[in-house]
Structures are given as structure tokens and as C-alpha cells.
Amino acid sequence: MRYGNVAGKLARTVFGVVLCSASFSSQAQAVNPSAPEQTLPPLTLAQAETVAIANQPRMLAAQLRARASAQRIREARSSLYPTIAFNATGVGVADTGTATAAGALTTSSISDRFAYGGNLVQLVTDFGRTSALIASSRSSAEAQADLATLTTAQVKLNVRRAYYEVLGSEAVLHAADDALNNRKLISKQIGALAQSQLRSTLDVNFAGVLESEAELAVVRAQSTVQQMRVHLASTMGLQQPIVAPVADVALPAPLDADPTSLLPQADTQRADLSAAQAQQKAAAQFALSEKRLSYPTLSAAGVAGEIPFHDHTLHDNYAAAGFNLNIPVFNGGLFAARRSEAELEASARTRDAEELKLEVNEQVRDGWYRADEAFRSLDVSARLVAQSKEALRLAKARYDAGLGSIVELNEAQLNETSAEIGAADATYSYLISRADLDYAAGLLN
């Protein structure tokens, strides 16, 4: 098996999520794309998350929607307050003998005049319908706020995954660089031995092919690093490339003994589960308000004003007060249908919340098992690297002593490089798995 094929495939697939370079915004550290990377302070994970929360359009949109949803509480509560309006009316060339009128001019309005005044309407009671609408709006606003919190967790998760994948791609590049340097050294040594007729021309050609394949793997790994930095920039809400180095991170604390301990935490902290429960409450309150549509509505009204210009049939001012009791009798079953629709929707929302809780339970357990698998792979990968280095040392000694072939040496080099890439994959796969588990348990809110 050739190194170039394997290393190229690993460099493309182990960390295949597309990422790119990004610069810090003014809220983090400014980065000059033209400045040498060595002069720039490293980008930390905490800084990347801070920039993403401040700049990510998705995050800002969720916050605006939460604020907009809170305004619906005021909209629903406005029905409890009086409605006051100012009116001005003018009528000319009226026939005082007219007894009827059509349109906006009622019988009492058929008089020459100009009048102005105000009217006030106050809801006395609708037997709790408005209160139920307010409670429904409040629960909907809470759900939208929970969704904004969920967006925060998703943004952090995306940043962490992108950040770890940048580190992983750079680890692959480092392994490819080491392999290339080793191939160059061996190729140079074989060339010198061939000039002394101690090695064949076939060994020289074979070493040159292996060196070219290692160089191709480096080119591919370099491209992957740049692609991953682009995606990191997108997750941070930035457009300019990051040329600063990315700081490495320490491994998190060991996992709990089993995923059961994380389930209660997920039930209380998962923002999407809280949003589903709030939406169910909102639907239940709305169903109650629809039920109260068939209740009577009592309102009080008052009007008063001046009539500076009028004919002899009118006074100089006017004032009146009264009430209106509206009792629904029959409307073709409209209210009954609306009530039934709202109650069915509330029941559906309850089932949605139950289904989401099952999904959260599954995500936590699945995330824990994946993280545990990745953690146990770390020790195996480290042993494999040590064993492959020793095998390469022995293969090199055998080849130098004339006891081994170039094919054997190449196989040992390939195994050592693959082990290095596998170790990088194991380390950053574990970090990504822990980020997924933290999100599933609601720890990224």
C-alpha cells in the first residue's frame, strides 16, 4: 500500500468538514491578514466563542425574535386598558326634514354642524379570555427566549467542532511534513549509496516516487487546513481570514461512569426541551381562551364633546355614557370549531414535548457512548504510534544493513505516518465527541 494514497485520503476524510481562515472582530483581537503568523497572539477557544456570540447573524436573529415575541404580551394585555379616540365631524347642506340616512350618516347625524369630541371604551369583563391570551403570549415569549438560548448552544457547538477540526487538520499536516522530511532524507541517502554502487537504480527511483507522493500529501493537507479555517470563520460570523495560530486545548475531565447521571441535567437544561414545554403551555392557554369565546363580553363606553357650529336643533355640547353586553348565541359553530382546533393542537404539543424528551434521552446516551469510545481509543492510538516508530527504526536499521528491501522500509514509514494521523484523529475526535455530549446535556447554554 502506498503512503500517498492513504495519507491523501486521510487528509481529506479524517477532518473533512470545510473550514476557513477568519479574523477577529473589534470585539475580540484584530488580525492583520498581511502580518506574519508568528507575530500574532494565538486564537483561543474562549475568544472564538465570544466572537461568534457577538457576530454570528443567526445568534442576533434569534435574539431579535425573542424581543419581538415579548411584544405580543403587550399586544394581548392592551385589551384590558381603555380605548380613547378623538373625533371631528362636519356636515353641511343637510335637509332637516330627513328622517332616514344610509352609510356613515345615521339619522341622528342629519344636521348642519361641526363637532369635535372624544370617546372612551373600557372592557369590564370577558370572563377570563384576555387573561388566558396574555398567559399564552407569555409562554410563547418564554419559548422564543429558550430558542434563543438553544441558538447560543448551537453556535458554541459549531465553533468548538470547527476549532477542533482546525487543530486536527494541522496535526495531519504536521505528520505529513514529518513524513516528507523523512522521505527526502532517505531518498538523499539512497542516492548517495547508488552513486557508490551500494544501492540499485530501482531503489533510487522507488525512493523518488515515495518522496513525490509524500509531497502531494503535504499539498493536500495544506489545502485542508485552509478550508477548515474558512469554515471556522463562518461559524464565528466573520468574513476576513484568520492568520493567527490556533491555540491547542487540554483534554477535558474524564467522563462520568455512565450516562444516567447526565439525563436529569439534560431534562432541566436543554433549551429546546424547555421551549417545547413552554409552547405546550401556550397552546393550552390559547385553547382556554378559545373556549371562553362563547362567554359574554361586558364593556362600558362614554362620549363627550363640543359643537361650536350647529343648527337650532342641536345643543352646544354633548355627553353620554352607557354599557354594552354582548352574548353570543349562534354563529354556525365557529366558536366550537375554534375551541376544538385549539384543544387538539394543545394535545399535539404535549406529544411533541414527550417525543423531544425521548430524543434528548437518546442523544445523551448516544453522545456518552461515542465519547467513551473515543476516549478509550486514545490509549490504543498512543501505543500504536510508539510501536510504529519502533518498527520504522528496525526497518531502517535492516535496510541500512542490507537485510531489508525498500518496500519493507516504505511499509514501515507508511504505518508510522498512518499511526500519527490516527492519533491526531483520536485526540480531536474525542474533543468533538465531548462537545457533542456537552450540547446534548445542555451544558453549552
Strand partners, 91: 113
Q: 223, 10 in Cβ contact below 8 A?
A: no
Q: How far apart are CA 347 and CA 335, in angstroms?
A: 18
**φ, ψ for residue 308, nearest 5 deg:** -70, -30
Using alpha carbons, list the distances in angstroms from residue 127 to 33, 325, 342, 344, 426. 65, 12, 18, 23, 64
**pLDDT (tens digit, 9 = 90+) per residue, 422-432?**
888 889 999 99
Q: 118, 84 in Cβ contact below 8 A?
A: yes
Residue 4's nearest CA partner among 201, 221, 227 is: 221
CA gyration radius for the chain?
Answer: 37
The whole-number average pLDDT for the span 260-277 is 94
The whole-number average pLDDT for the span 204-221 is 87
What does the pLDDT read at residue 7? 37
Q: In which band, very low, low, confident or very high, does the pLDDT at 99 lie, cut at 50, 70 and 90? A: very low
Res. 396: pLDDT tops 90: no
Q: 100, 157 in Cβ contact below 8 A?
A: no
The whole-number average pLDDT for the span 314-340 is 92
What does the pLDDT read at residue 94? 59
Q: In which band, very low, low, confident or very high, does the pLDDT at 95 lie, cut at 50, 70 and 90? A: low
The whole-number average pLDDT for the span 145-171 is 95
Across the beta sheet with 113-125, what order do the strands follow? Answer: 83-91, 113-125, 297-310, 317-326
Task: Lowest mean pLDDT of 158-162, 200-204, 323-327, name the range.
Answer: 200-204
Opening angle at CA 235, ends 234 and 236, nearest 5: 90
Q: 240, 22 in Cβ contact below 8 A?
A: yes
Residue 244's nearest CA partner among 102, 444, 68, 37 is: 37
Opening angle at CA 331, ends 329 and 334, nearest 5: 120
Please list the alpha-helical segments (H only) found in 81-198. Answer: 129-195
Using alpha carbons, list the distances in angstroms from residue 336 to 170, 240, 283, 345, 412. 65, 58, 16, 14, 79
Q: In which band, very low, low, confident or very high, does the pLDDT at 205 lie, cut at 50, 70 and 90? A: confident
Sign of CA dihedral 308, 309, 313, 319: negative
Checking 202-206 for CB contacts under 8 A at 24+ apart, the result is 202/406, 203/406, 206/406, 206/407, 206/410
What does the pLDDT read at residue 108? 60
Pick the CATH number of 3-96+112-440 from 3.40.190.10, 1.20.1600.10, 3.40.50.920, 3.40.1190.20: 1.20.1600.10
Q: Specify the pTM.
A: 0.80
Q: How far apart are CA 378 and CA 430, in angstroms?
A: 8
The whole-number average pLDDT for the span 229-254 is 90
Query: How many other C-beta atoms can be found within 10 angstroms of the C-beta atom of residue 408?
Result: 16
Chain-centroid distance, C-alpha 171: 27
Core vs surface per residue 15-25: b (16+ CB within 10 A) or e = bebebbbbbbb
Q: 110, 101 in Cβ contact below 8 A?
A: yes
Res. 20: pLDDT tops 90: no
Q: How far apart are CA 153 and CA 159, in angstroms?
A: 10
Using alpha carbons, list the distances in angstroms from residue 67 to 70, 81, 140, 225, 269. 5, 22, 11, 39, 21
Residue 180's nearest CA partner among 214, 207, 204, 220 is: 214
**φ, ψ for residue 40, nearest 5 deg:** -100, 140
Residue 191's nearest CA partner among 182, 179, 200 is: 200
Question: Which residues contact residue 248 at a Cβ distance below 8 angstroms, ignoring those fewer than 6 apart?
Answer: 167
Task: Lowest mean pLDDT of 4-13, 174-183, 205-214, 338-347, name the range.
Answer: 4-13
Q: How far apart are CA 38 and CA 311, in angstroms?
A: 92
Q: In which band, very low, low, confident or very high, does the pLDDT at 37 lie, cut at 50, 70 and 90? A: very low
C-alpha grid cell for residue 93? 347642506
